[in-house]
Structure 1
């Protein structure tokens, strides 16, 4: 009975962890102290929940070329790049982003911009990762 319980627990953990994928952003030359990860998890039939966490991310106004906001971009499987939002900086140590997409993003990247509602990236690219 104990063996079956342990096997069930191991299988449950394996199923939970297989439903999501985490990618590490490479070290940025613009903000080298920042550590950033992107996690994608399938929600239902078509939606995908993307969570991006950053720690030690300098405020955009402290960059060598000061900017106002960090904008997050997602690239779909068809190659379309979309502005999907910006970081909510909780404090100087941690920034988070969480959103559900109706498509599978294959790549996400972050830029420092002067305004939030841009249709194409115009500022400094901070870092990029594939999902």
Structure 2
């Protein structure tokens, strides 16, 4: 994937863990060779309703040369007129991502992902 000051939008694959969830990742390389990552997800189940129940959704990137990196907690919200949960994350990293995935965790400041992968993109 070439990201020369342009952005790339990639959809998350369908999930058996949260089947109603849909979302995408937008990655843009800036002039300082950093990567702005924007994630938006709709119809996400609350992490406490998963089996086993968890507290948080944590977003990870698989990088080209530096392994897997925790890039932050997915921020969840619902609207006044709907129970549908939305998730989002806006962040910047110096690592070039080749895949994005989200896990359900009980802690957000962890260095390695747990086994409960909720959503994932293909390699891009």
Listed as ranges, the gaps of 5+ residues in structure 2 are: 79-83
1:57 aligns with 44
Q: Distance in 2 between matches of 1:81 and 1:49?
A: 17
Q: What residue number does 1:94 align with?
A: 86
| Offset at residue 75 of structure 1 (A) | 1.3
Alpha-carbon distance in 1 for matches of 2:59, 2:101: 6
Q: Distance in 1 between matches of 2:88 and 2:101?
A: 14
Residue 93 of structure 1 and its aligned partner are, at CA, apart by 2.8
Structure 1 residue matching 2:25: 3-state secondary structure: strand
Partner of 1:104: 96
- Report the Cα offset of residue 79 of structure 1: 4.7
Aligned pairs, how many? 114
The aligned counterpart of 1:118 is 110
Is 1:113–1:123's contact at 8 Å kept on the other side of the alignment? no
Where structure 1 has 5 or more consecutive residues not aligned to the other structure, the ranges are 1-17
CA distance in 2, matches of 1:32, 1:79: 31
CA contact (8 A) 2:7 2:26 kept: yes
- For residue 46 of structure 1, the aligned residue among 33, 49, 53 is 33
The separation in 2 between residues aligned to 1:110 and 1:51, in whole angstroms, is 13
Between structure 1 and structure 2, the one with the greater Rg is 1
Once superposed, which parts of structure 1, at least 4 consecutive aligned residues long, lie more than 3 Å away?
none
Decide which of 3, 21, 29 is 2:16's aligned counterpart.
Answer: 29
CA distance in 1, matches of 2:66, 2:118: 20
Root mean square deviation of aligned Cα = 1.4
